[in-house]
């Protein structure tokens, strides 16, 4: 099976929910969050965790996970501010199905206090 490695910057509340799933699933989006956006570049995820999550919640984390390539192929990557800032836009109502195509566990690879 082929897979693609993605990253997701999260705050402490989202991380707690991920850990509550046994590090297997991302939590449902809030009503004001119509998309789930995993990112392609680790450096971009680090930047978001440091610049957005830390000021918003006091800490930020970068998660890394793998998704089945054949499943992810239905989505187009989007460059947001240049080719070093790419992400997928997964509609919130499709996040449960997305979670079903995660290969292995969601791991924390960076922590920012």
Q: What tens digit of pLDDT does each residue of 59-100 get?
A: 999 999 999 999 999 999 999 877 789 999 999 999 999 999
Q: What pLDDT sits at residue 49? A: 97
Was domain 3-112 assigned CATH 3.30.70?
no
> DSSP for 64-107?
EEEEEHHHHTTS-EEESSSTTSEEE-EEGGGHHHHHHTEEEEEE
Distance CA 1, CA 35 (A): 26
Residue 106 reports pLDDT greater than 80: yes
Q: What is the mean pLDDT of residues 31-46?
A: 96
pTM value surpassing 0.85: yes
Q: What pLDDT sits at residue 61? A: 98
Residue 4 reports pLDDT greater than 80: yes
Length of the chain as a residue count: 113
Q: What pLDDT sits at residue 80? A: 87
Where are the chain's structural domains?
A: 3-112
């Amino acid at each position: 099976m082929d897979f693609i490695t993605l990253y997701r910057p999260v705050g402490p509340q989202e991380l707690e929910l991920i850990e509550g799933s046994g590090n297997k699933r991302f939590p449902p989006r809030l009503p004001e969050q119509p998309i789930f956006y995993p990112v392609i570049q680790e450096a971009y995820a680090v930047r978001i965790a440091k610049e957005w999550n830390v000021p918003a919640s006091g800490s930020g984390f970068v998660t890394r996970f793998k998704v089945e390539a054949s499943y992810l192929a239905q989505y187009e990557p989007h460059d947001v501010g240049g080719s070093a800032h790419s992400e997928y836009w997964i509609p919130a109502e499709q996040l449960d199905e997305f979670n079903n195509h995660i290969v292995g566990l969601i791991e924390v690879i960076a922590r920012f206090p």
